[in-house]
Amino acid sequence: MAILNIVKEGDPVLRGKCRPVTEITPRIITLLDDMIDTLHDANGAGLAAPQVGVRRRIALVECEEGKLYELINPEIIERKGQQEEIEGCLSLPGKWGVTRRPMEVTVRAMNRNGEIYTVSGSGLTARAFCHEIDHLDGILYSDHAIEMLRPEDIEVE
């Protein structure tokens, strides 16, 4: 397994629409494993394949330690409520913005075994699902941020 390079804003791979995964191959499994290592190394809450230079519909979300969601060909099938919170992105280091996202979402996706499943999340997990699935369509959180923040606007806990 390897730590992959996270591409930064301005790289055209972040703006392309990703291709669906049609077959779970050893290469897809290796990509998932490498993305997990990369996510953990970067201390992020999520990572999408285009962020490591791969235009495939694959994303990871891990907002709570031990609760890692591998999302292959994910789609949001239900949205409820609304939240406005601060978001950042591993591909936009040092930048933060306020976004409006659903409070709860349900996602349908495939796992590494090719099985279709659904998962629901609220709060930070819902935001992360939305954020990572946006990446698969070439959308960055900054595209629809209500407000971009300056570093001095961020309170560190």
Coil/strand/helix, residue 21: coil
Query: Residue 71 to residues 28, 47, 66, 148: CA-CA distances in angstroms?
Result: 12, 10, 15, 28
Q: Which among 62, 70, 104, 132 is annotated as catalytic? A: 132
* 147 in active site: no
Are 59 and 95 a contacting pair, CB within 8 Å?
no
Q: List, by residue number, the catalytic residues.
A: 132
